[in-house]
Amino acid sequence: MTLTHILRRPALLGACSLALITSFVSTAQAAATVNKGDTTWMLVATCFVVLMTIPGLALFYGGLVRAKNVLSVLMQVLVIFSVMSILWVIYGYSLAFTSNASGALNPFIGGFSKFFLAGVSPASEIGTFSKETNIPELAFVIFQMTFACITPALIVGAYAERMKFSAVLLFMVLWFTFAYLPMAHMVWFWAGPDAYTLSADNLAVVSGLVGEDKARQLLDALSAATTDEAKAGILGEYGALVNATNGYLFNLGAIDFAGGTVVHINAGVAGLVCAYVLGKRVGFGRDPITPHNLTFVLTGAGLLLFGWYGFNGGSSLEANGLTALVILNTTIAAAAAALAWTAGEWFFRGHPSLLGAASGVVAGLVAITPACGWVGPGGAIIIGLVAGFVCLWAVVTLKTKLGYDDSLDVFGVHGVGGIVGALLTGIFVNPALGGMGVVDYLAADTSVGVVPYSFSAQMYAQIMAVVIAVVWTAIVSYVALMICKLVLGLRVKEQEEREGLDLVDHGERAYN
């Protein structure tokens, strides 16, 4: 069997679509095997992403705020991680990565068949992106749990230093449920590579998807077909039936390897809405509001880079050559963006700063996230360079022109960087530009093909994914904030904000 080094599922006629994160068929396919190396890598990658959040993100954000608010940021990241871990097990995994009994809802959100991880055991298996290759489902559950934990925590940087702790918690529960989970389902939920093999050897899986009678009818028709055109028509009919079980953006063909839309655009736009609704910090634009500890910032950025190897590399779901490419692309995109931000800052502002270089690293990591398994090294460097310059512009110029106070530039780095990455992924996936191309899994055996690249079709899918992510998370974020405002109130009092949230919310100081 040829290992699939590009993750993609077939569209209606076995032509074009995307994949990123998971495949749910498989325990029924006897030929599928679990590789201990893949499993080990997934567990290690999961640990990387935990470290990326606690203490990586916490230290990065903590260093950027003033000394009187550092503990509030650390506490918010820690508690959000803890709350999301529990919610993920209770209903998050089920809503993101199972099918919905309602055909109308299934493209947008899953169901409750795995509520409290019902039916998930150490013996459960789940497919990867290679046919007949599985990993333990629990490994996938905990890997995806770390994504669900860090994404809401990213938003902390937008409203830092002024939002009530109680309101933070309520907002995060609402946003996780109604923004993160639908986006994860729409982008990443699919039937898996083995589902697209229409063969008698795969009868159990095919029957599970379309019913035994329909499965036998299709297999009989395929066996009786005497021309390639007739076989393609039958495979196309079967592919359409399988596609009906997938998420909406997955079927549309948008490609997002590790979370450009689901994580970064989702969180970045939510941060922008929070910044507008909460308003500016007391003294913003008048008093100096500077990072209190740049050593923390660089330490946090380093831990984010390290954790991102698990974030992006683990999204391959296997330990193979693709994983190596992903880690290479992650590294060089971050380096290119750090250099671009530094150069831009040096040229336009007269000095290169450590804060700028660290911000550039994160911008490059954000932009390469959706592209890391789809593009070659050349594309990764270009994506990093573009992200470095564009995110610098967003933080320095766009933010000032629009007049919002995004405390730690969540939108400028994650929102804008995620959009840049999502769009450039659609360009540099092209094999003619060194990209990996798109795999077509639909076949009468375990073989896979490559879909011819279409710039217009791929960019349409990428743009639609960006637009849907922006609009959906903006609406959910605004409504969630209004609920929090009505129930709890959003901001601390002015005097409390001046005193600092460490003492007001938590009764302690970072430094004594």
Query: How far apart are alpha carbons 495 and 67 in whole angstroms?
Result: 16
Query: How far apart are alpha carbons 409 and 394 in whole angstroms?
Result: 9
Reported as a single tens digit per residue, the pLDDT across 346-379 is 999 999 999 999 999 999 999 999 999 999 999 9
Which pLDDT band holds residue 29 (cuts at 50, 70, 90)?
very low
Q: Mean pLDDT, to the nearest integer, of 78-100?
A: 98
Average the pLDDT over each of 139-148, 227-236, 374-383 and give the range with the smallest value: 227-236
pLDDT > 60? residue 409: yes
| pLDDT value, residue 4 | 31
SS3 439: strand
| pLDDT value, residue 466 | 98
Reported as a single tens digit per residue, the pLDDT across 453-465 is 999 999 999 999 9
| pLDDT value, residue 33 | 86
Task: Name the nearest CA neighbour of 304 among 63, 19, 43, 21.
Answer: 63
| pLDDT value, residue 449 | 87
Percent of the chain with pLDDT over 70: 94
| pLDDT value, residue 55 | 96
Q: What are the start-end ranges of the E strands in 333-378?
A: none
Task: Determine the length of the chain.
Answer: 512
Reported as a single tens digit per residue, the pLDDT across 410-422 is 999 999 999 999 9
Give the DSSP per-residue string, 119-187.
T--TT-EEE-SSTTEEEEHHHHHHHHHHHHHHHHHHTHHHHTTTB-HHHHHHHHHHHIIIIIHHHHHHH
Q: Mean pLDDT, to the nearest integer, of 303-330?
A: 98
Residue 504: both structure tokens together: 């007001």
Distances (CA, A) of 86 to 77, 108, 387: 15, 22, 34
Q: Mean pLDDT, to the nearest integer, of 407-412?
A: 98
| pLDDT value, residue 439 | 87
Higher per-residue confidence, 11 vs 148: 148
pLDDT > 70? residue 17: no
Contact residues for 322 (Cβ-Cβ < 8 A; gap 6+): 5, 6, 7, 316, 373, 436
pLDDT > 80? residue 85: yes
CA angle, 125 then 130 then 131, to 5°? 75
Which pLDDT band holds residue 32 (cuts at 50, 70, 90)?
confident
Upstream peptide bond of 55 is cis (omega within 30 degrees of 0) = yes
Reported as a single tens digit per residue, the pLDDT across 440-451 is 999 999 999 888
Reported as a single tens digit per residue, the pLDDT across 47-81 is 999 999 999 999 999 999 999 999 999 999 999 99
pLDDT > 90? residue 30: no
Average the pLDDT over each of 167-176, 207-216, 301-310 and give the range with the smallest value: 207-216
pLDDT > 70? residue 289: yes
| pLDDT value, residue 337 | 98
| Average pLDDT value for the chain | 93
Query: How far apart are alpha carbons 207 and 334 in whole angstroms?
Result: 45
Average the pLDDT over each of 10-24, 49-63, 200-214, 239-253 and give the range with the smallest value: 10-24
CB 164, CB 72: distance < 8 Å: no
Which pLDDT band holds residue 301 (cuts at 50, 70, 90)?
very high
Query: How far apart are alpha carbons 106 and 476 in whole angstroms?
Result: 19
Reported as a single tens digit per residue, the pLDDT across 107-143 is 999 999 999 999 999 999 999 999 999 999 999 999 9
Which pLDDT band holds residue 31 (cuts at 50, 70, 90)?
low
- Annotate 271-291 with b (16+ C-beta within 10 A) or e (fewer): bbbbbbbbeebbeeeeeeeeb
Sign of the alpha-carbon dihedral angle for 293, 162, 363, 50: positive
Q: Mean pLDDT, to the nearest integer, of 380-384?
A: 98
Query: How far apart are alpha carbons 191 and 36 in whole angstroms?
Result: 23
| pLDDT value, residue 18 | 32
pLDDT > 70? residue 13: no
